[in-house]
Structures are given as structure tokens and as C-alpha cells.
Structure 1
Amino acid sequence: MKEHEVKINKVAQSIISFEDGVKWFDSLESIELQYEVFKFTCLALLQSKPTKEKIHSAINNIPLKPTFTSVVLLNRFPLKEAIPKLERLPEGELRKSFISVLSLFKYCDTVRRNEECNGKCNHEWHNL
């Protein structure tokens, strides 16, 4: 796994705090690397088996105002439609989009680890 993949999964598992994960994202040396991390986080979210119900529950926990574009898009569209829209937002929306997606991933992956994997899976990213 790449360093940023490990970091994102450590945030999802609360090995690294959410706030420290966002600070790390902010400290990345280029916008290109931030986009790469954001896109990985979107992929990780999709792989965490998010259901409509999980997404709805998780949206309420995003640490942003519900009127921010990323939150509105995630609330208004199915996830597979919202993610491409988030990816096309202007650069100034990247940080908020990352926070939104990371928050959803953290929630959905936690549910998956607790309900499906329950410490018995062989997922490399669940055994950090």
C-alpha cells in the first residue's frame, strides 16, 4: 500500500485522528498529490460497501456546514453520481470535498469492520 493509502485507512480506524488526517492532507506538497489522495479516498469509500442508509447517517456527521457544496452534492445525488461531481469542482472546493468523503469513508468503513469483518478479515487495510 502507498503511504497515503495507509494514512487514509489509519484515519478511518482512528489510529490517526480525523483532524490530524486533514492537517496531513493540507500539508501535502502539491495540489496534484492532494487530488491523488482525494481520488483514492473516493475509491476507498466506494469499496467500503456504502449503502444509501449508511451514507444518509454519515452525512449528518460531516464536520462541515450542510450548505457547503460537497455536502449538498452528497446529500442530493447517489454516491456514484456525486463523486464525479465532486471531482469536477474547482480547486478551492478540494479541501471541503476531501473532508466530506473522508468523513463518509470513516463511518462506512467502521460499520463494515464491525459488522462484516469483525476482526476476521484478511483485508490488508483493516490489519494495520
Structure 2
Amino acid sequence: MTEASGEDGRAVQRETEQVVNEIAQGLRTLDDGTAWFSGLSLAGRQEVLREVGGYVMQAHITAADGCAGVARSGVKPTANPSVMICMDPPRYGFAKLPDDEHVKAFRVLVSVFAVADTRRRETECKGTCGHAWHHLPTAVEEP
């Protein structure tokens, strides 16, 4: 497997962070994010799945977050990524899933992250948050 390294790896992480947080905050649709993800190479998709899996862990998802995220994702609750994220504790390792499961895994992970991160923005971070990714600028409309 070819891994992105150095500046290329950091660029992928920054782009992933931007896309995922825009989806979580309603600034980009899940379908738009999925189209971006689908255009990546196999190694790029695996790297994004590892990165987003880390975001999900850092968001301290609950079982309720997992169920709500799966419902929001459009992925069947019986699909491997859905089952993995709803286990107690959740199972990770989405990048190791077969290639044909990557899009489902991305949709599930981002949707679960969106649920958990929204909950955290509205509770723990409300009014006191210094996380830059919680303060993305909204799109400016063209005249």
C-alpha cells in the first residue's frame, strides 16, 4: 500500500478535515462529500477512512450517536460499516474493509461524526469553544 507522506499527507489530512467538518456543519452535503471521496485513489480512500475514524473516536460517540448516524447515512443498518460503528464498543478498522465497502464506510463515519460533533458543539463547546473546526465560515453568496 502506498501511503501519502510529508506535505502530501498533511494536505490530504487538511482537505479531509475541511470536507468532513463542512458536512458535519451543513455547509456541504453528504452526497457532495461522497463524490469527493469516491474520486480518491484506493490509498487516498484508505487514508481518509483512517483519518475520519480518528475524528469519530475523538468525538466520543455514544451508542445513540452511532444509531442516529447510520440512519442519516443512507446505508443499510446491516451493512458491515453500520454494524461495526453500532457495536459496544464500536469497532474501527474501516480502511481494512473490502474496496466496495469504502463508500458505505465513509458515509457512516461522516454521518456518525456529524451527530456526535453537533451534540458536542451544542453542549461541551457551546460559547466557550476554541476549536477552529467548529467555527468554519459559511459560504458567501455571489451577487
- Number of aligned residue pairs: give it: 124
Q: Distance in 2 between matches of 1:14 and 1:120?
A: 21
Residue 5 of structure 2 is matched in structure 1 by none
2:54 is equivalent to residue 47 of structure 1: no
Query: What is the alpha-carbon root mean square deviation over aligned residues?
Result: 1.7
**Normalised TM-score (structure 1):** 0.85
- Asked which structure has the greater RCO (Cα within 8 Å, sep 6+), the reply is 1
Identity, % of aligned pairs?
A: 31
Q: Unaligned regions of 5+ residues in structure 1, if any? A: none
Residue 130 of structure 2 is matched in structure 1 by 122
Q: SS at the partner of 2:92?
A: helix
Residue 83 of structure 1 is matched in structure 2 by 92
Q: Which moved more, 1:69-78 or 1:3-12?
A: 69-78
Larger radius of gyration: 2
Q: Distance in 1 between matches of 2:71 and 2:129?
A: 28
Q: Unaligned regions of 5+ residues in structure 2, if any? A: 1-12, 137-143
Give the number of the structure whose residues are more often helix, by fraction. Answer: 1
Residue 73 of structure 1 is matched in structure 2 by 84
Letter aligned with residue 67 of structure 1 = T
Residue 109 of structure 1 is matched in structure 2 by 117
Residue 6 of structure 1 is matched in structure 2 by 18
**Normalised TM-score (structure 2):** 0.77
